[in-house]
Amino acid sequence: AIEKVKKWNPDIIIVAAYGQILPDAIINIPKFGCLNIHASLLPKYRGAAPIQWAILNGETSTGVTIMKIAPELDAGDIIAQAEIPILSSDNSQTLHDRLANLGAKLIVETIPLYINGSIKPEPQDHSKAIYARKLTKEDGIIDWSLSATALWNKVRAFNPWPGAFTFIPTNEKPVMLKIWEATPEEGSFNPPGTIIKADKEAFMVSCGSGLLNLTTVQLEGRKKMSWPEFLNGTRIQPGLRFLVPPINNKT
């Protein structure tokens, strides 16, 4: 691969969502170096899942960074940044798409300025670095003791993958229920995970603080559906409490 890149003799290399650290043998080939488009405002959210962690942590804005590639993960000098708000309607997919468009526009604007020397790369403040580790399926398990706002952020952050999910108790194996869309509401002093309301008006679950109103769900082995569709086909009743089985439970 290195020899192939040398034959191309590129002036500059642009990397986006590559997920691996380039070796020096590649970095040193192009005349103007290698640039990376990263989906966060570095040094915040270095790593594999910056979009998901920004939503999960309740950030109100994020953006894209164009940086020089360095041997360390997402630690290179910053060449350009652009910021956008995180909308209440955003999930990881919609925010990804908006950031992709923003990054494409920014790189087109930045390359000529960088090549002609109009932009001076600025070192990152490494003391402010936050890392966004890669997500696992188990990260999607819902802890109902968290606040409704925190769980709303989780539902949005983990859509489309791995999905935020909980478990319905049955006489046999607990049944997984994925929550794709929800809204936080005020109220309830019931034990976390308790279904407070389950009718044509709302599907409310008590949290550590507040209520989570489930609007789009998916029962294990079924398609996504609105809460009225789901409730029509199940025997879910107020008072039922969702489970959180051990992480090693097969899901």
Number of domains in the chain: 2
> Could you tell me if 121 and 141 lie in one domain?
no
> Could you tell me if 161 and 53 lie in one domain?
no
Q: Which domain holds residue 49?
A: 2-132
Computed over every residue of the chain, the mean pLDDT equals 94
pTM listed for this prediction: 0.94
Task: Look at residue 243 and tell me if it is in a domain.
Answer: no
Task: Give percent of the chain with pLDDT exceeding 70.
Answer: 97
What average pLDDT score do residues 172-185 get? 96
pLDDT band at 100 (very low <50, low <70, confident <90, very high): very high
In this predicted model, what pLDDT tens digit does every residue of 217-248 receive, in sequence order? 999 999 999 999 999 988 899 999 998 755 44
**Integer CA distances (angstroms), 69 to 57, 115, 133, 160, 199, in order:** 26, 15, 19, 29, 54
**Integer CA distances (angstroms), 204 to 144, 157, 165, 167, in order:** 12, 20, 15, 15
Task: Give percent of the chain with pLDDT exceeding 90.
Answer: 88
> Could you tell me if 125 and 158 lie in one domain?
no
Phi, psi of 93 (to 5 degrees): -70, -45
pLDDT at 149 over 80: yes
What does the alpha-carbon distance between residue 7 and residue 193 come to, in Å, rounded to a whole number? 60
**pLDDT at site 248:** 44
